[in-house]
Amino acid sequence: MKKTLSLFAVFAFAGLSSTPVQAGNHYYVSGMGGASWLQNIKIQSTYTSENYTDTYKMDPGLTLFGAYGWNYGRYRLEGEIGYLRNNFKSLVYSGLDEFGAPFSNTSYPMKGHVSVLSLMANGYYDLPIGSSIKLYGTAGVGGAQVSYENVAQTTQNYGYSVKATTLAYQIGLGVTRPVANHVTLDLRYRYFATPDFTVSWDYKGTDYSNNTSISSHSVLLGLRVGF
């Protein structure tokens, strides 16, 4: 998977050594930040003798990212580095154990957090709707490193930490407006997600392997500076 991330990095920044095809277009840097709402994380057992799902509810969190791009008029391409973090709120067990007995659906308060470090290649289409305001749509693909840190029930002293690398994708809608020479204000909604991936960890001497995925909604505000 490290090779996959390297390929995405090459793809995202390959255009930086070329000149935009139309006169008057320019490169830019941008930065954004805002609130993120990570959807419930479901972790499903991969063991054939067990059939259960752990459903983690999450607190609202933070999304930050920066990008370097190049502008082709109504079209833009960019490479982006992003960071997302949300704290765990509660956990509900459901399903059957290896003896066919049902797990309790009781909710347990949780501690710990999940963070996502992503590297994305994005495309944009800008649509003018006035003398200075533009609407845009965006989509991107790339890779993400998902980290679970110190995850445990609040009454436990022992927590597990694990990392996994996976593919990722995102879509978004936004609106921009110039606020100074070569400086643009950017307001955006973003949906970010991964396909299913496997996480493995050791808990009190026992190895566990489970399937899961990540998806989030974010509202972001930032600036784009052209040059």
Walk along the chain (227 residues) and give the pLDDT tens digit of each residue: 444 444 444 444 444 444 444 434 589 999 999 999 999 998 876 555 556 678 999 999 999 999 999 999 899 999 999 999 999 999 987 766 556 666 666 788 999 999 999 999 999 999 999 889 999 999 999 999 999 999 989 988 878 889 999 999 999 999 999 999 999 999 999 999 999 998 887 666 667 778 899 999 999 999 999 99
CATH of domain 2-18+30-226: 2.40.160.20
| ∠ Cα 216 50 156 (to 5°) | 65
d(CA 80, CA 77): 10
Closest to 38 in 3D by CA, of 84, 81, 92 = 84
DSSP character at residue 14: G
Closest to 226 in 3D by CA, of 76, 82, 80, 120 = 76
The DSSP bridge pattern shows strands 134-153 and 41-45 to be: unpaired
Closest to 211 in 3D by CA, of 42, 10, 30, 19 = 42
Please give the structure tokens belonging to residue 62. Answer: 């933070």
d(CA 78, CA 143): 15
